[in-house]
Amino acid sequence: MSAINFVARGSAGASNHGTVSADGDNSSIDASGGGEISLNLRQNDIRGYDRLGRDLEITLADGRVIVLSNYFDGAETRLFISADGYLNEVTLTEDMDGALFAQYGPAAEWGKWSPSDELIFLDGTEVASAGTGEEEASTMLGAGLLGLGGASLWGAGAAGAAVVAGSTLLGDDTGGGIGGGGGGRIPPTVDQDTDISLGGDGVNGTNSPIDISGTAEPGAKVEVTIGDKTQEAISGDNGKWDVTFEGDDFPKDGEHDVIVKVTEPDGTETVLDGPTILIDTMPPAADITEGTVATGDIFNADDFANGVQISGTGEAGASLVVTVDGVDRETTVAQDGSWSVTYEPGTLEGGERVADVTIVASDAAGNTSTVTDGVRIDTIPNDVAIDLDTIEGDGTVNLEESRNGIDLTGTATAGAEVVVTFNGQTQTVTATDQGTWTAIFDGTGLAPGQYDMDVTATSTDAAGNVNSATGQIHIDTLVQDSAVTSKSGGTDGVINADEALQGLTVTGTGEPGMRVDVTLAGRTVQGQVANDGSWTATFAASQIPTGTRIETMTAVATDAAGNEQIITAPVEIDTEAGLLTLNSDAIGGNGVINFDEARAGVLVTGQAPEGMLVTVVLDGVRHQVAAGPGNVWQTTYQQHEIMQGEHTPVVWASITDAAGNTARVDATVHVDTQVDNLNLTPPSLVVGTDGVSVINGAVARSGFDVTGTVEPGSVVTVTIDGVTRPAVVNDATGTWSTRFEGASIRGGQYDADITVNVQDDAGNVSRIDDTVKVDTFVDELTRNNDQFGDDTVINAAEARAGVTLTGEVEPGSTVQVDVLGRSYNAVVAANGAWTLDIPAAHIPQADQTFDMTVTATDSARNVTTIDDTLTIDTLVPDHTDIVGYFREGGGYRSVTIKTSDDNIDIFRVGRDGSVSEASVYESADAFLGETDYHFLNASGRAGTIPDGSQLIIANTDNAGNSVGTYVVLDETATDIVNISNPNLKGLQIEAIDLSFGDQSKLTLTEDIVTGLSDNSDTLVVHGGGDDRVTMLGATRGGTAMVDGNTHTIYTLGDSAQVLIDDDITNVVI
């Protein structure tokens, strides 16, 4: 007896290979939990089956018993027997008496892939009714389900990889239930009788094909339809058929009935219903509708305290795992397609962040989908504070500050919105990038007095978090108990000269700590304030004005908060000192001092009693002078004593008599020593590509305006490069403008001086000097014409490499080339050299001269062009017509070809594959229109090339386009044409002539044909009936005429074409 091999594959796909020994000691196999078990047995090796409780006993022909333990545990384990590369499923039925009967049905055959390959044994069996044998291992097709990782082809819930037919016929051990030689009609059947489910990640027509098989009369046509896909098969000689749906023939998702139509050779048609196939490869939908960044939701501190909820929609019944911060929540999509999970308070960390969210959805078929998003959490409010101590500089708001608006300041998170409430008013402000804010409030509604007022600043961030700061601001809007208590001028209330000499004391009351300033006739003294608020201010005698007048005395009290209270009182004075005059209108000649007058010295005059000393003050500079005869006084102010610019200073003169009475005269004088607001606006010119304003050719031709501003009433002229134009001045606004008409500025490339001259109405003069760039033409645009050799023509080889055009232009310019129906932008180097690369794909196949325009635009936007041409000849010449050759001795003496206008070069291909150009003497026959090319030896005499040589005749036109013809000569050593010789590269072979060889054998491939010439992927082959051309895989097409002869067109591969002379009748494809 021999050992019996088996394989047990569990429901999860894992396989266990084992052996039942010849002596039967290890004859028990665990069959629990479902799966498949395959025994290396034939049908005639089995005597019978018996059920013993939950176990199945299999009695073999040699008396051994194999026990499948727990076979009847309800998990539906499937049993197979296999030998000689066939696999049959065993179906057991139990009659009323408990006896088991077996039916055998074919499941798979080795050699055509099936999910059951791992269950197939290739070897035969040696089970006998008696005898013993060595334990031998059988060969198994251990394919591991060809990369399916042990997973069943049909997916979860399917009956298994190999399905038993609905009715089973007993037969021999190779045919399963087909029968072994009855000779009758084989009825149509379908092996698969249980429904099939396909689905899950990775399931598709490539790695999970559907296999449908069955039986039918040999030669019958079988059409199997699943959904929108149909596959056909012809039943084999053994009556079996099989089709596979995979790749593009894999049915789309859905529930499909398998329909099998069998048409037998005699025309009998049978339609069979196969199993129902459920295909589900679509990942389940999972969308988020609430709680994430994508839905626009955010959880602030209040929201976060109540937990985080994420909701959405998806495929009903799908399982979802939601992960946030590594914390999982699981749920199932409800029947209405909704789902929701909640992260309770304390589950996630707060702060200001976005937590990653991952949602994995899984449907019943095993398909999964993943959605990623984020949960935006913001539980941190904005910072906010009020700078109470620095409000209005000292933390207190006084009356003036309240009238000018109260600035409340503070700090907050940069960019935060802050709502500030004060005195029943609300202001909304935004913190700066430095985190500071300012709110300005109208203080006119503040009640007068001294008190504290509440202020609140509140900031709510984008998430809705709220933070507030509060405080109090001190309000002080008045000076308390302020009054003047003294009386000026004694009992009569008038200050005479003697009293004035004693000075004046003023007293009053007010707040402790305040300041008092008392002003009389323009003189101010500061009072001394006691601790009780009383104060005293004393004017010296010199501070009391003279003459006869009534002055208003003003006492200004300022408390610590900065509030002011003004008290006024009249003061009567009588201390006349005499007549005093000041001739202010005569200063500068007209009451105005200009630059030239100030430089020459300014005379100030008037009248006073003769001999009296006159004090004169002009522009803050004091002079003293004595009045002369005729009561005239005068003094001169030098230039350095007059403040330059335009202003109206006070000028006054005073006298004091011997009794101390004084007199004074005040006036004003206008000083204007400069031209104000002189400005030159940059002219509205062209801004070049370098960003510099420039007068280019277009501007110079059309003209342009120059504008600016100046003191109203001035006269303005503008000069550019020696050309002067007067400007029109607007006396209301001070703007001025002038125009330089077209062609007024000379052309060229230079920096022109521009000068603006001005004289104002006071006689002062000024000027502005500047420069303006002038560039009216493009300097030096050229194109180099020596780029394509001596012929200046672009041939095919040059076109394949792409064409480069070059030239020179003004540095900083741009160059555009218009040619071949396209516009190209050239690359311009810093030195002005320009380069343009025209791609090979843009160069046409033509023999033609094309118009070309080169346009240059310089940095000043001047434009110039060159009109030129571009000559292209990319048409290769026709290949050479060969008349014959002259053989002499063991070699060849000459070759004759049709006379051509092209240049002819002849190359010799040696027997070793070497290629060298032959030295020839050319002899033309004008009568025949032929030319003989005699081969020369090293000394230049007539010679021969050796037998075994082949020739390449290359003709090259004037543009340098070349085409070669490979001439096969009569070779005695071999009839194989070595056209794949790598040394032929670059000779542009487009024709092979076999006419002069004997029984030549030429083999061509797509790579050989496309590699012979850079010009074309087409090859012409001439020859005769003794030649053979082999082109495996080629397809035959139509015909074409070449040199008057009919050639058949063959397509070889994707791109190669071969035209073969119809005289060559031996073509192998």
Q: Give residue-wise pLDDT tens across range 521-530.
A: 999 999 999 9
Query: Considering only CA atoms, which of 606, 667, 610, 597 is closest in space to residue 638?
Result: 597
User: Which two tokens mark 52?
Assistant: 């013993």
Query: Considering only CA atoms, which of 977, 982, 975 is closest in space to residue 999?
Result: 975
* DSSP 8-state code for residue 154: T
- Please, which pLDDT band fits residue 613 given cuts at 50, 70 and 90? very high
Same domain, residue pair 655 and 710: no
SS (HEC) of 466-500: EEEEEEEEEEECCCCCCEECCCCCCCCCEECHHHH
User: Which two tokens mark 355?
Assistant: 């937590």
- Would the pLDDT of 605 be above 70? yes
Q: What pLDDT was estimated at residue 125? A: 76
Contacts 24+ apart (CB under 8 A), 943-946: 943/893, 944/888, 944/889, 944/890, 944/891, 944/892, 944/893, 945/891, 945/892, 945/908, 945/918, 946/890, 946/891, 946/911
Same domain, residue pair 808 and 684: no
Query: Considering only CA atoms, which of 246, 299, 17, 4 is closest in space to residue 133?
Result: 4
Dump pLDDT digits (tens) for 41-68. Answer: 988 889 889 988 888 999 988 888 999 8
Sequence letter at residue 60: L
Q: What pLDDT was estimated at residue 177? A: 37
Among the candidates 443, 476, 509, a domain finishes at 476
Residue 649 lies in a domain: yes
Query: Considering only CA atoms, which of 1016, 1018, 1014, 1013 is closest in space to residue 1052?
Result: 1018
Q: In the predicted model, what is the mean pLDDT of residues 342-356?
A: 94
- Please, which pLDDT band fits residue 128 given cuts at 50, 70 and 90? very low
Q: In the predicted model, what is the mean pLDDT of residues 881-891?
A: 82
- For residues 142 and 373, the model is more confident at 373
Residue 940 burial (C-beta neighbours within 10 Å; 0-12, 13-18, 19+)? exposed
Q: Across-strand partners of 1014?
A: none
Q: How many other CB atoms are found less than 10 A from the CB of residue 102? A: 17
- Please, which pLDDT band fits residue 117 given cuts at 50, 70 and 90? low
Q: What pLDDT was estimated at residue 142? A: 30
User: Which two tokens mark 1052?
Assistant: 């070889």
User: Which two tokens mark 785?
Assistant: 């014409």
Q: In the predicted model, what is the mean pLDDT of residues 351-372?
A: 92
Do residues 744 and 710 make contact, with C-beta atoms less than 8 angstroms apart?
no
Same domain, residue pair 788 and 761: no
- Please, which pLDDT band fits residue 173 given cuts at 50, 70 and 90? very low
Q: What is the mean pLDDT of the chain?
A: 86
Q: What pLDDT was estimated at residue 471? A: 94
Same domain, residue pair 683 and 656: no
Q: What pLDDT was estimated at residue 12? A: 64
- Would the pLDDT of 158 be above 50? no
- Would the pLDDT of 76 be above 50? yes
Residue 511 lies in a domain: yes
Q: In the predicted model, what is the mean pLDDT of residues 161-165?
A: 29
Q: What is the rounded CA–CA span in Å between residue 90 and residue 93?
A: 10
- Would the pLDDT of 1002 be above 90? yes
Strands (E) in 61-208, as ranges, are: 65-69, 78-83, 86-94, 100-109, 189-190, 196-199
Q: What pLDDT was estimated at residue 392? A: 86
Do residues 1012 and 979 make contact, with C-beta atoms less than 8 angstroms apart?
yes
Q: What pLDDT was estimated at residue 972? A: 66
Do residues 809 and 832 make contact, with C-beta atoms less than 8 angstroms apart?
yes
* DSSP 8-state code for residue 701: H
Name the residue with tokens 């074309």. 1016
Query: Considering only CA atoms, which of 768, 763, 764 is closest in space to residue 736?
Result: 768
Dump pLDDT digits (tens) for 293-342. Answer: 999 999 999 999 999 999 999 999 999 999 999 999 999 999 999 999 99
- β-strands 863-873, 793-794 pairing: parallel
Residue 996 lies in a domain: yes
- Would the pLDDT of 629 be above 90? yes
Domain that holds residue 407: 384-476
Dump pLDDT digits (tens) for 775-814. Answer: 999 988 999 877 665 668 888 888 888 899 999 999 999 9
Helix (H, G, I), strand (E, B) or coil at 218: coil
Report the phi/psi class of residue 414: left, alpha or beta, with left for phi > 0 and alpha for psi in -120 to 50.
beta
Same domain, residue pair 272 and 306: no
Dump pLDDT digits (tens) for 813-851. Answer: 999 999 999 999 999 999 999 999 999 889 998 889 999
Dump pLDDT digits (tens) for 390-419. Answer: 888 888 998 888 888 999 999 999 999 999
Q: What pLDDT was estimated at residue 13? A: 67
Dump pLDDT digits (tens) for 671-690. Answer: 988 888 888 888 878 888 88
Residue 204 lies in a domain: no
Q: What pLDDT was estimated at residue 109? A: 45
CATH of the domain at 662: 2.60.40.10
The pLDDT > 70 percentage for the chain reads 92
- Please, which pLDDT band fits residue 165 given cuts at 50, 70 and 90? very low
The answer for residues whose C-beta is within 8 angstroms of residue 587's C-beta and 6 or more apart is: 593, 602, 603, 604, 618, 651, 669
Q: What pLDDT was estimated at residue 660? A: 58
Q: In the predicted model, what is the mean pLDDT of residues 255-267?
A: 93
Q: The pTM is what?
A: 0.39
The answer for residues whose C-beta is within 8 angstroms of residue 927's C-beta and 6 or more apart is: none
Same domain, residue pair 683 and 792: no
SS (HEC) of 553-604: EEEEEECCCCCEEEEEEEEEEEECCCCCCCCHHHHHHCCEECHHHHHHCEEE
Query: Considering only CA atoms, which of 116, 114, 90 is closest in space to residue 104?
Result: 90
Q: What pLDDT was estimated at residue 522? A: 92
Q: What pLDDT was estimated at residue 979? A: 93
- Would the pLDDT of 135 be above 60? no
Please report, for residues 227, 284, 360, 365, 917, the alpha-carbon distance to residue 281 in angstroms, rounded to integers and kept in the order given.
Answer: 15, 9, 16, 8, 67
Q: How many other CB atoms are found less than 10 A from the CB of residue 659? A: 15
Q: What pLDDT was estimated at residue 145? A: 27
Report the phi/psi class of residue 631: left, alpha or beta, with left for phi > 0 and alpha for psi in -120 to 50.
left
Please report, for residues 244, 315, 735, the alpha-carbon distance to residue 278 in angstroms, rounded to integers and kept in the order given.
Answer: 16, 18, 89
Residue 1001 lies in a domain: yes
Q: In the predicted model, what is the mean pLDDT of residues 216-243?
A: 94
Domain count for the chain: 9
Same domain, residue pair 303 and 439: no
Same domain, residue pair 392 and 337: no
Q: What pLDDT was estimated at residue 25? A: 64
- Please, which pLDDT band fits residue 26 given cuts at 50, 70 and 90? low
- Would the pLDDT of 970 be above 80? no
Same domain, residue pair 8 and 55: yes
Q: Return the half-sphere exposure (C-beta side, CA atoms, 13 A cut-off) of residue 187.
A: 10
DSSP 633-688: EEEEE-GGGSPPSEE--EEEEEEE-TTS-EEEEEEE-EEE-S--S-EEEPP--EE-
Q: What pLDDT was estimated at residue 787? A: 64
Do residues 444 and 361 make contact, with C-beta atoms less than 8 angstroms apart?
no
- For residues 134 and 314, the model is more confident at 314
User: Can you say how many angstroms the Cα of residue 306 is from the centroid of all Cα atoms in its chain?
Assistant: 41
Same domain, residue pair 1058 and 951: yes
Residue 844 lies in a domain: yes
Please report, for residues 287, 846, 851, 873, 903, the alpha-carbon distance to residue 959 in angstroms, rounded to integers and kept in the order given.
Answer: 68, 12, 19, 6, 11
Name the residue with tokens 């007549």. 579
Do residues 965 and 989 make contact, with C-beta atoms less than 8 angstroms apart?
yes
Q: What is the rounded CA–CA span in Å between residue 563 and residue 394?
A: 13
- Would the pLDDT of 1053 be above 60? yes
User: Which two tokens mark 861?
Assistant: 């936007």
Same domain, residue pair 150 and 51: yes
Measured between its terminal Cα atoms, the distance across the chain in Å is 56
Which range has the worst mean pLDDT, 413-427, 699-713, 888-902, 908-922? Answer: 888-902
User: Which two tokens mark 988?
Assistant: 């542009």
Residue 336 lies in a domain: yes
Do residues 720 and 753 make contact, with C-beta atoms less than 8 angstroms apart?
yes
Q: What pLDDT was estimated at residue 467? A: 94
Name the residue with tokens 């990653």. 356
The answer for residues whose C-beta is within 8 angstroms of residue 184's C-beta and 6 or more apart is: none
- Would the pLDDT of 891 be above 70? yes
Q: What pLDDT was estimated at residue 1032? A: 94
Dump pLDDT digits (tens) for 490-525. Answer: 777 788 777 888 999 999 999 999 999 999 999 999
Q: Across-strand partners of 729?
A: 736
Among the candidates 847, 873, 899, a domain finishes at 873
- Please, which pLDDT band fits residue 946 given cuts at 50, 70 and 90? confident
The answer for residues whose C-beta is within 8 angstroms of residue 585's C-beta and 6 or more apart is: 591
Q: What is the rounded CA–CA span in Å between residue 385 and residue 435?
A: 10
Query: Considering only CA atoms, which of 748, 947, 961, 1000 is closest in space to residue 846?
Result: 961
Helix (H, G, I), strand (E, B) or coil at 414: coil
Q: What pLDDT was estimated at residue 131? A: 37
Same domain, residue pair 916 and 1018: yes
User: Which two tokens mark 58?
Assistant: 């299999």
Q: What is the rounded CA–CA span in Å between residue 570 and residue 563?
A: 24
Q: What is the rounded CA–CA span in Å between residue 856 and residue 832?
A: 11
Residue 195 lies in a domain: no
Among the candidates 654, 672, 690, a domain finishes at 672
Q: How many other CB atoms are found less than 10 A from the CB of residue 691? A: 7
Please report, for residues 224, 262, 265, 273, the alpha-carbon distance to residue 219 in angstroms, rounded to integers and kept in the order given.
Answer: 16, 10, 6, 21
The answer for residues whose C-beta is within 8 angstroms of residue 1026's C-beta and 6 or more apart is: 998, 999, 1000
Q: What pLDDT was estimated at residue 184? A: 77
Q: What angle do CA 938, 942, 946 make, to 5 degrees?
A: 75
Q: How many other CB atoms are found less than 10 A from the CB of residue 99? A: 12
Strands (E) in 383-534, as ranges, are: 384-386, 396-397, 406-412, 417-422, 425-430, 436-441, 450-460, 466-476, 483-484, 494-495, 504-509, 515-520, 523-526, 528-529
